[in-house]
């Protein structure tokens, strides 16, 4: 009888843990799907010469208090360059994309509802996208010094060729979103 009681308690605790983790993972997937769309939309609307924008899984690394995705840009020649991180030849370091950068808020309110505020918007300030499934027009970036400086440095480092900022953009660029969650450090493939 005690064994059965212990088993029921263990299953109850395990079930609660699973449901809590699922709720948090759903928040991350929702928030990051909007952040990835915001980043990709800015790149393809403002840069010519881009053939593809791809995102890494969402890496949740509590050892350094980050939740991030890694955007990767491919030029028309097939060159691959990672946004964020270090460009050693220029001694420049760019911040990643996620938490703590990219979001103003990614959490739950007191009643358990998702709170998702992207850190930037068309007018430059943070924007509430908690109830959105697609990136609203007002959340599209009209400018992003952070992305512009990063792409400029990648072009100067010859990691990207023929990628230039202009009003035509790259409307035919392929975009590969990724909301798979991995707990731990960013894999070598995405560094």
Q: What is the pLDDT of residues 127-164, one digit of tens each?
A: 999 999 999 999 999 999 999 999 999 999 999 999 99
In total, how many domains does the chain have? 1
Note the pLDDT of residue 110: 92
Q: What is the pTM of this model?
A: 0.91
**DSSP string for 105-131:** EEEE-TTS-EEEEES--TTSS-EE-TT
**Tens of pLDDT along 68-120?**
999 999 999 999 999 998 888 888 999 889 988 889 999 999 999 999 999 99
> Rounded to the nearest 5 degrees, what angle is found at the Cα of 66, between the Cα atoms of 155 and 60?
105
pLDDT grade for 9, boundaries at 50, 70 and 90? confident
- Nearest alpha-carbon partner for 74 in 188, 13, 154: 154
Q: What is the mean pLDDT of residues 20-27?
A: 88
47, containing H or E segment = strand 47-48
Predicted confidence (pLDDT) at residue 19 exceeds the cutoff of 70: no
pLDDT tens, residue by residue, 157-181? 999 999 999 999 999 999 999 999 9
Contact yes or no for 53/176 (Cβ under 8 A): yes
User: Which residue range forms the structural domain that includes residue 70?
Assistant: 2-190
β-partners of residue 183 are: 60
For residue 187, pLDDT beyond 90: no
Can you tell me the distance from the alpha carbon of 24 to that of 183, in angstroms, rounded to the nearest whole number? 13
């Amino acid at each position: 009888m005690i064994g059965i009681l212990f088993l029921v308690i263990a299953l109850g605790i395990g079930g609660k843990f699973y449901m809590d983790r699922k709720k948090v993972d759903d928040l991350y997937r929702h928030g990051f799907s909007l952040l990835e769309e915001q980043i990709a939309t800015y790149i393809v609307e403002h840069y010519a010469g881009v053939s593809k924008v791809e995102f890494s899984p969402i890496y949740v690394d509590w050892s350094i208090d980050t939740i991030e995705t890694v955007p990767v840009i491919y030029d028309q020649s097939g060159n691959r360059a990672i946004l964020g991180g270090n460009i050693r030849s220029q001694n420049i370091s760019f911040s990643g994309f996620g938490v703590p950068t990219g979001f103003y808020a990614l959490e739950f309110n007191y009643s358990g509802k998702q709170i998702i505020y992207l850190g930037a918007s068309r007018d430059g300030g943070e924007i509430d996208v908690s109830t959105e499934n697609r990136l609203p027009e007002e959340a599209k970036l009209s400018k992003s010094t952070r992305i512009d400086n990063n792409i400029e440095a990648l072009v100067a480092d010859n990691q990207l060729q023929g990628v230039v900022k202009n009003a035509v953009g790259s409307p035919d660029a392929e975009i590969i979103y990724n909301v798979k969650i991995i707990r731990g450090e960013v894999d070598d493939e995405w560094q």
